[in-house]
Amino acid sequence: MEAAKTDRAALADVLKNKAVPENLVYGAMIRLGQDGDSEALEVAKKIVNHESKYLREGAAQALGYFSDENVLPDLRTLTSDREESVRVFAIQALGTIKSASREKVVEEILAKPSLSAAEKVATHGSLYRLRSDLEKQKKDLEQILILAHKPDSELSKKAMLLAMSLATDAKGIKDLMIEKIKQSKDDNIKAVAIRNLANSKDQWLKDRLLELATTSSVPVKIAAVQSVHRVCPESRWDLIDSIIRKEKEESVANHAFEELLFLNRSKAVSLLEKYKSDSSLSDVRRKTASTFAESIKSKPDIDVCK
């Protein structure tokens, strides 16, 4: 409630032509825009042509939450902004509310010969959200996948993340994530792909989780370890034991301990009791084992891998 008051005060000052820090205006526009607030609409429309790229980006995002009759002309203006980032935000905003009018506008944008790759990703993403025609929607997803399959780049990463947010279970998306785990040099991309495959309980990931958890970089190891209770590989106990005993990075080992909270309680407690008195483990690991043993004993058995 207090935050909303602060946001409204900031927008009211803008409408009175008072100086307000850009970051306050940006956040207030978007937060209140999501609630359909009339002042957020008024401020966003006022700064469509503001000299600040940052504020125009915020205006584009805020305008997407309002009805077509109020915002389509302004969003059209922002899709032709001199700054690519503003154009991308405006295109994405058009995909916020499903309507035939918005779909037509975005199709017109797609027909422009000078679209950047980032604008193409945003355009196909918005069209996917706006489509009622499933065949057209499928084609939009295919275009996003083409961009995502390009060699490692910020654009490829954005396209992949967009594709996963739109249709995680689509076969093309799963193939893309597997490809990225195998070939990407960006560990963050690999980690995102692992977590998304884990959410869909993917068999390919399940078969390779032990390898990923023990022979990869730290971000990839953590993503693999955190996926144990989601895909429940047969090797889950060996995986956790291997990490706790052999992993040098403490953060990875801590995630292995946390996974025990999701597995068979009696077996987890038995394992932790062994670790507590195992002189081959560091003092830190033995202390962590003791803490988790006491914690698990007081919790219900929620073995998610039954």
Q: Where are the domains of the chain?
A: 1-167, 175-306
Which helix (DSSP H) or strand (DSSP E) does residue 248 occupy?
none
Task: Give buried/exposed letters for 230-240 (b at 16+ CB in 10 A, else e).
Answer: bbbbebbbebb
**pLDDT for the residue 283:** 96
DSSP 191-242: HHHHHHHHHTT-HHHHHHHHHHHHHS-HHHHHHHHHTHHHH--TTHHHHHHH
Cβ–Cβ < 8 Å for 229, 199: no
Q: Profile the chain (306 residues) by mean pLDDT over runs of 10 residues.
A: 74 83 90 90 94 96 94 96 96 96 96 91 94 90 84 79 78 84 87 89 94 92 96 95 96 96 93 95 96 88 87
Task: Find, among 34, 54, 58, the residue nearest to 44 by Cα.
Answer: 58
**pLDDT for the residue 1:** 55
Is it true that 1-167 and 175-306 share their CATH fold? yes
Please give the class, per CATH, of domain 1-167.
mainly alpha
Q: What's the pTM? A: 0.68
Cβ–Cβ < 8 Å for 195, 217: no
Q: Return the number of other C-beta atoms located less than 10 Å from residue 123's C-beta.
A: 28
Tell me if the domain spanning 175-306 has CATH number 1.25.10.10.
yes
Residues in the chain: 306
